[in-house]
Structure 1
């Protein structure tokens, strides 16, 4: 079976990294990728691993010239399934697939909330356009029960929605103690972080919705004798504002923004705790990655953990998303899980191999023309 994944861009965001991870583990299928714009580090990683990536060079949201280019690509490629990711790609990808005669059209909804989509406010026009485009597809995949509930509230029929959570490659993070220590030392040296510094880390696009400013404020209050540092892994339009805030608070020398990186696992080893102050997440992939890397996690929203019992993630603590609460949570002693211990049950529950196998089965059913049936509750 031949599958084309259509995505808005391939910078190192959560949806983009999840696509890369899924393709690595997706069995029995030949997959290619088309990005409407911005072929960033994830495109480079995909090509390095042998995947074909097409850059459609879209110039903006209303660049309608991309539609015939994408339609032609789909028609020439002879794809059995077209799978779209992110709002702009869903609009253009679903329509192009139908124009090209592809009947099996899947979309993964990565970032939908009641009033926002991908961090942007939802207007009546955006919602109407979303619902019209959704009807062109075969199945919409929700990455959490929370997303599925939002789709239902918007009026998407339950029979068109399947809950299929994001996945994590737990084995990728399972470094032996000696290897982890060596990587930690090397990464800290490369980043200019003192080996004994207390490093609070965060992973994600530098956008207002991630609320990384909360961590900058908390950083200013952490005891100086611990030599606290804030390591932000990601890039985005909020970077200049975060750095300016750090200068105003007198902690500019303690804030390090790495920019877009594809070595997140190694960067996690340099951290002592992972913080995630966003109040709106559709899954919480960074939280799961931190847990898989053996880090204690302090977070404000993580639907992936909300859908599991508390004991599935004993190293995770929920914290109100304000500077005072994060200061208190990060100033307290934060014990780390020994690298020799098994990862918490939540990590195994969201193993990527399991998720990819379920996605492969969905492709097979749609490719045979079967009606999509929403999945029941996933077993633990």
Structure 2
């Protein structure tokens, strides 16, 4: 089976790194097109032997990208097109239909209740998504929570398939020697209590709440992996709170860098306002860390016994998180065995589930399936987020 994956960009992000990990386990011949930003993940994919093409799209409304993408899909003679992230889903599903590909599948990685990929949802965003969704054969939700949001949007239930994000759990297993080495490299005392955080530095992740809580508990240190538009504001906040010597913004980290951080930490915190899955929380659980989280479908959608080390915060505000940190530091650090939740999210299992979706899409798709009678193949300028 020849599959073309189309993604909006390949910078360091959850969806982008998930695609790279997935392609290492997917039993299909796969190529990748990135509409924009062929960043570090593109380099990683090429190192894995995957063909990556940069389409050179200049923005959300660069309509010249559509015929280029359609031509690329047609020349590749792919059996199936799989799209990732909003812009790629809109343009990719249209291009797949115009190129005559038998079936298209889209994964919805980042749909929140009020946001999509960190941006506010608008009526235009939703309308364009639903219009182009009908051009595909199936839509993959990364959690039951996202599946429910898609149904609430109006996507028919039979078209939605839950395939959770996955991890390579062995990669995040606690490493005592790695813990010592990472702390030495970062100048963190061996006996310090360290909080870890991972994610793109954007307002929705609420890392400002985490910085304020850590600053309020003397002696606690924060290691934060990720980059984004909030980096300077978070640094300024740490300076203003006189905690800059205890708070390290590490920048973008690959999976090995995240694994090293998790081994060095004593507690993981996710204060995000909304999540579609919560991959970093699962990675932290695989490392044996206790976790405090505001929202995390990867844990919240499971029975409590599947992730006993994860504690959900009531409101996730600064006061509640500060009190929780004080209690954890008083109790001291502890490592836990990886819970059942980690096994549920094994990447090999996820790849098998996705292959089942591919088979279903190819078996049920028809050349004219669900084609709107008056569908115009070019998206409007104001509808894209």
- Cα deviation for residue 105 of structure 1 reads 0.3
CA distance in 2 between partners of 1:100 and 1:18 (Å)? 27
TM-score, normalization by structure 1: 0.91
CA distance in 1 between partners of 2:157 and 2:190 (Å)? 52
SS at 2:213's partner residue? Answer: helix
- Cα deviation for residue 335 of structure 1 reads 4.2
Tell me the equivalent position of 1:246: 238
Q: Are the aligned partners of 2:83 and 2:93 in contact in 1 as well (CA < 8 Å)?
A: yes
The root-mean-square deviation of aligned C-alpha atoms, in Å, is 1.5
CA distance in 2 between partners of 1:48 and 1:3 (Å)? 19
Tell me the equivalent position of 1:337: 335
- Cα deviation for residue 229 of structure 1 reads 1.5
- Cα deviation for residue 113 of structure 1 reads 2.2
SS at 2:181's partner residue? Answer: helix
SS at 1:70's partner residue? Answer: helix
Does residue 205 (structure 1) correspond to residue 205 (structure 2)? The answer is no
Tell me the equivalent position of 2:352: 357
TM-score, normalization by structure 2: 0.90
Tell me the equivalent position of 2:370: none
Tell me the equivalent position of 1:284: 278
- Cα deviation for residue 163 of structure 1 reads 1.4
Tell me the equivalent position of 1:115: 114
Does residue 294 (structure 1) correspond to residue 292 (structure 2)? The answer is no
Deviations 1:219-253 (A, max 9, x none): 11112xxx321111111111111111111111122
Of the structure 1 ranges 81-90 and 56-65, higher mean CA displacement relative to structure 2 is found in: 56-65
CA distance in 2 between partners of 1:101 and 1:45 (Å)? 30
- Cα deviation for residue 369 of structure 1 reads 4.3
CA distance in 2 between partners of 1:357 and 1:190 (Å)? 39
- Cα deviation for residue 21 of structure 1 reads 1.5
- Cα deviation for residue 334 of structure 1 reads 5.0
Number of corresponding residues: 360
Q: Are the aligned partners of 1:276 and 1:300 in contact in 2 as well (CA < 8 Å)?
A: yes
SS at 2:24's partner residue? Answer: helix
Deviations 1:90-135 (A, max 9, x none): 1111111111111210000011123211111111111111111111
Out of 275, 294, 309, the position equivalent to 1:315 is 309
Tell me the equivalent position of 1:74: 73
Unaligned runs of 5+ in 2: 367-385
SS at 1:25's partner residue? Answer: coil
5 Å-filtered alignment, 1:31-70, equals 31-70=30-69
Does residue 366 (structure 1) correspond to residue 381 (structure 2)? The answer is no
Unaligned runs of 5+ in 1: 372-380
Does residue 228 (structure 1) correspond to residue 220 (structure 2)? The answer is yes
Tell me the equivalent position of 2:19: 19
Out of 242, 256, 266, the position equivalent to 2:260 is 266
CA distance in 2 between partners of 1:294 and 1:39 (Å)? 33
CA distance in 2 between partners of 1:143 and 1:270 (Å)? 29
CA distance in 2 between partners of 1:95 and 1:130 (Å)? 11
- Cα deviation for residue 370 of structure 1 reads 5.6
